[in-house]
Amino acid sequence: MTSMAATPARSDCQMPNLPDLPDEARAEQLRAANINPRTGLATDYLNHFNEAIMLLEMIPDMPECAEDFLGWQPLSYCEHFTASNFKARDLAIEAYGAADTGVRAEFDNLTTAMTSILTAVGAAMREATQDKTRSRLAEQATIWVKPLVALAGGVINGGAEADVETIMKSN
C-alpha cells in the first residue's frame, strides 16, 4: 500500500520545447488535444481529483475502499501529465506553462485547496479506528471537494467569460 504524501501538489514543471505555430494553428492544435486554447488548461487533470472523489463515495457502502483512497497520491498538473498516457501530454504541460499567470494562479489555488483537503482527510482516516468515522470523513470531503472541481473546470473552460462569448456568437 502506498501512502498519501503530506505535501501539497506543486505547480512547477519542466516545460518541453514545442515548435511555435501561428495563433490559429496553435489554437486548433490545442482544441484537437482537448486543451482550452484561451486558458491553456486541460480538463483531463480534473480526472485526478475525480478519482479520489469516486473512491471517497464508495467508502460509506464499502469501508474497505478506504485503503484504496489512502493509496491516492497528490500530483501537480505537470506531474499528472508526465505520468499519464495523455496523447498530447507535452503540449498540455507547455500550454500550462504559457497560460495567463492570473488564470493559472486561480487554477493552482483551487487544485492546492483540493489537494490539501484530500491529504488532510487521508491523514484523519489513518487515525480513525471506526468505519463510521471514516465514512463521515469521506462524505464531508466529497461535499468540500466536488464544488472545487466544478470551479476548477470553470477556470479551465474560461468561466463566465466563456459563457458571454458563447452567447454573443449565437446572436
pLDDT, tens digit, 9 for 90 and up, residues 11-35: 455 544 444 555 788 889 999 999 9
- Mean pLDDT, the chain, rounded, equals 85
Question: What is the structure's pLDDT at 26?
Answer: 82
Neighbours of 38 (CB within 10 A): 16
Question: What is the structure's pLDDT at 139?
Answer: 97
Set of cell numbers at residue 72? 491516492
Tell me how far apart the alpha carbons of residues 142 and 139 are, in angstroms, rounded to a whole number: 5
User: What does the pLDDT look like over 40-85, one tens digit per residue?
Assistant: 999 999 999 999 999 999 999 999 999 999 999 999 999 999 999 9
Question: What is the structure's pLDDT at 30?
Answer: 93
Of the listed ranges 12-21, 92-101, 136-145, the one predicted with least confidence: 12-21
Tell me how far apart the alpha carbons of residues 164 and 158 are, in angstroms, rounded to a whole number: 10
Instruction: Tell me: pLDDT of 165 over 90.
Output: no
Distances from the Cα of 168 to the Cα of 1, 20, 156, 161, 165, angstroms? 51, 30, 20, 11, 5
Of the listed ranges 7-16, 38-47, 94-103, 152-161, the one predicted with least confidence: 7-16
Question: What is the structure's pLDDT at 25?
Answer: 83
Phi and psi at residue 54, to the nearest 5°: -60, -45
Tell me how far apart the alpha carbons of residues 130 and 151 are, in angstroms, rounded to a whole number: 32
